[in-house]
């Protein structure tokens, strides 16, 4: 459904060139749900905007749903759906009218647009809300309407840019369920960007970990975690530097990382390593507030690949867009 090679995008700013995306290769099969996971500024939105023809690549090539991205952008646009980060619903338009209008924009006859609008409203739990204006909907309802708007022309491939940002946990889980159901019932392919680990973990068949404009790993959430092996110990300590020094001196302790929530380290087997770790911290007179042991998460995967925790990476991974830029072709 997608085959992209060497996708690159540079932005020229007054302070120099920002290399937002640096040669991304991407293959997505029909019916897959693929997540681009990375911190703010990693290049996810820029990649998505290139794949949806909204931004011309500085270099690289792609075939999307059978059409060439650069030579046939209209063909690509006809075959895909795109739900932007802040959605596309009109605040003052009634839900059903908004959907019908979107259908008409895609060239559907009025009756067909209405039929599809009603079907999508039913599928996405918007029944009974057809007469309400967009701005009176809850966050979750609005995101479902945004999704419906992106699907009215029945694309086989849909791109969702951070679909659950600013939703509460329940509404997020609800939207994931809807996305999974749409894939099962309609067989659509979904590409989603997110900086939420749990979103990538529970929604995606395959995760592409993106950092500083590059794909640094790709696999199913389980594959990525399994590749890491071993367990993670999370030690709540105040004397972080002493704890890091002490742990780094232990032969069975791998990667040690000081984070906001304490010190994190990787060990082959948590049960075996824990007594040794506790004894060593005690001998070094480092008081311990808490200990947690867990199987690797996608955050551990990101940490292992980049040396930074995803939650802490944020804009450190890129330059904040302080000004609109011209493209560097
Ligand atoms: N119009 C622009 N002008 C200059 N730099 C830009 C522009 N748009 C994005 N960038 C820069 O390109 C890099 C990638 O940004 P992008 O928005 O693609 O990241 P992202 O992973 O989607 O982040 P977020 O999760 O915050 O949306 C960042 O360093 C960003 O500051």
Residue by residue, DSSP assigns 140-170 as HHHHHHHHHHHHTT--SEEEEESTTTT--HH
Is the residue at 307 inside a domain?
Answer: no
Half-sphere exposure for 208 (CA within 13 Å, toward CB): 23
116: confidence class by pLDDT, cuts 50, 70, 90:
very high
Same domain, 268 and 237: yes
Q: Is the Cβ atom of 11 under 6 angstroms away from ligand 1?
A: yes
Q: In which domain, by residue range, is 123 found?
A: 2-224
- The residues, ordered by sequence, that sit 6+ positions from 158 with a Cβ below 8 Å of its Cβ are 80, 81, 82, 83, 150, 151, 188, 189, 190, 191
Same domain, 259 and 203: no
Q: What is the CA(290)–ligand 1 centre distance, in A?
A: 37
Same domain, 212 and 235: no
Same domain, 10 and 137: yes
Distance separating alpha carbons of residues 147 and 108, to the nearest angstrom: 18
Q: Is the Cβ atom of 321 under 6 angstroms away from ligand 1?
A: yes
Tell which of 224, 246, 274 closes a domain.
Answer: 224
pLDDT at residue 322 is higher than 80: no
Closest protein CA for atom 26 of ligand 1: 40
Read out DSSP for 259-295? ETTEEEEEES-HHHHHHHHHHHHHHTT--EEEEEEE-
Angle at 27 between CA 24 and CA 33, to 5 degrees: 110
Mean pLDDT (whole number) for 217-224: 91
Same domain, 85 and 171: yes
Here the CATH number for the domain that contains residue 209 is 3.40.50.300
pLDDT at residue 34 is higher than 50: yes
pLDDT tens digits for range 250-259? 998 988 989 8
The secondary structure of residue 247, as a DSSP letter, is H
Mean pLDDT (whole number) for 96-115: 95
Q: Is the Cβ atom of 178 under 6 angstroms away from ligand 1?
A: no
pLDDT at 87: 80
Q: How far is CA 194 from the centre of its chain?
A: 2
Same domain, 239 and 148: no
Closest protein CA for atom 10 of ligand 1: 321
CA distances from 60 to 213, 267, 300 (A): 14, 40, 31
Q: What is the CA(267)–ligand 1 centre distance, in A?
A: 35
Q: Which phi and psi (to 5°) does residue 18 adopt? A: -100, 120
pLDDT at 329: 35
Q: Is the Cβ atom of 13 under 6 angstroms away from ligand 1?
A: yes
| Identity of the highest mean pLDDT range in 103-112, 194-203, 311-320 | 103-112
How many of the other CB atoms lie within 10 Å of CB of 16? 9
Is the residue at 328 inside a domain?
Answer: no
Sheet with 214-219, edge to edge strand ranges: 80-83, 157-161, 189-194, 33-37, 206-211, 214-219
pLDDT at residue 327 is higher than 90: no
Tell which of 209, 224, 239 closes a domain.
Answer: 224
Q: Which residues pair with 82 in a beta bridge?
A: 159
Is the residue at 306 inside a domain?
Answer: no
Distance separating alpha carbons of residues 186 and 189, to the nearest angstrom: 9
ipTM for the whole complex? 0.96
Q: What is the CA(326)–ligand 1 centre distance, in A?
A: 13
Same domain, 111 and 239: no
Radius of gyration of the chain (CA): 23
Tell which of 224, 250, 265 closes a domain.
Answer: 224
| H-helix segments, the chain | 44-51, 73-79, 95-105, 110-123, 139-151, 169-186, 197-203, 221-228, 240-248, 270-283, 298-306, 310-313
Is the residue at 198 inside a domain?
Answer: yes
Mean pLDDT (whole number) for 119-143: 91
How many of the other CB atoms lie within 10 Å of CB of 77? 19
CA distances from 140 to 86, 90, 131, 147, 159 (A): 12, 15, 17, 11, 18
Same domain, 22 and 116: yes
pLDDT at residue 233 is higher than 50: yes
Q: What is the mean pLDDT of the chain?
A: 89
Distance separating alpha carbons of residues 313 and 114, to the nearest angstrom: 45
Tokens of 178: 């809807």
Is the residue at 312 inside a domain?
Answer: no
Tell me the percentage of the chain whose pLDDT exceeds 70.
94
Q: Is the Cβ atom of 86 under 6 angstroms away from ligand 1?
A: no
The secondary structure of residue 208, as a DSSP letter, is E
Q: Is the Cβ atom of 165 under 6 angstroms away from ligand 1?
A: no
3 state DSSP class of 68: strand
290, 262 Cβ separation under 8 angstroms: yes
Same domain, 149 and 163: yes
Is the residue at 149 inside a domain?
Answer: yes
pLDDT at 319: 35
pLDDT tens digits for range 276-288? 999 999 999 999 9
Number of domains in the chain: 2
Mean pLDDT (whole number) for 180-191: 93
């Amino acid at each position: 459904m997608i085959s992209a090679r060497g996708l690159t995008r540079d932005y020229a700013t007054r302070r120099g060139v920002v290399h937002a995306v640096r040669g991304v290769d991407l293959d997505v099969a029909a019916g897959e749900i693929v997540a681009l996971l990375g911190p703010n500024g990693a290049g996810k939105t820029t990649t998505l905007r290139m794949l949806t023809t909204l931004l011309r690549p500085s270099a690289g090539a792609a075939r999307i749903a059978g059409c060439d991205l650069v030579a046939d952008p209209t063909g690509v646009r006809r075959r895909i759906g795109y739900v932007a980060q802040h959605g596309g619903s009109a605040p003052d338009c009634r839900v059903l009218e908004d959907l019908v209008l979107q259908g008409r924009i895609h060239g559907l006859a009025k009756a067909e647009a209405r039929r599809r609008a009603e079907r999508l409203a039913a599928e996405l739990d918007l029944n009974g809300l057809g007469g309400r204006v967009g701005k009176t909907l809850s966050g979750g309802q609005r995101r479902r309407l945004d999704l419906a708007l992106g699907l009215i022309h029945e694309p086989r491939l849909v791109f969702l840019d951070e679909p659950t940002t600013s939703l509460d946990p329940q509404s997020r889980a609800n939207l994931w369920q809807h996305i999974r159901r749409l894939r099962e019932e309609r067989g659509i392919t979904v590409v989603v960007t997110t900086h939420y680990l749990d979103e990538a973990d529970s929604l995606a068949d395959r995760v592409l970990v993106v950092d500083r404009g590059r794909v640094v790993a790709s696999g199913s959430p389980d594959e990525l975690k399994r590749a890491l092996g071993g367990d993670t110990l999370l030690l709540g300590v105040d004397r972080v530097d002493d704890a890091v020094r002490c742990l780094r001196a232990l032969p069975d302790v791998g990667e040690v990382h000081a984070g906001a929530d304490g010190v994190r380290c990787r060990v082959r087997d948590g049960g075996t390593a824990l007594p040794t770790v506790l004894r060593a911290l005690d001998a070094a007179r480092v008081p311990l507030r808490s200990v947690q042991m867990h199987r690797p998460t996608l955050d551990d995967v990101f940490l292992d690949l980049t040396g930074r925790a995803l939650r802490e990476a944020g804009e450190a991974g890129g330059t904040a867009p302080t000004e609109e830029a011209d493209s560097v072709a």
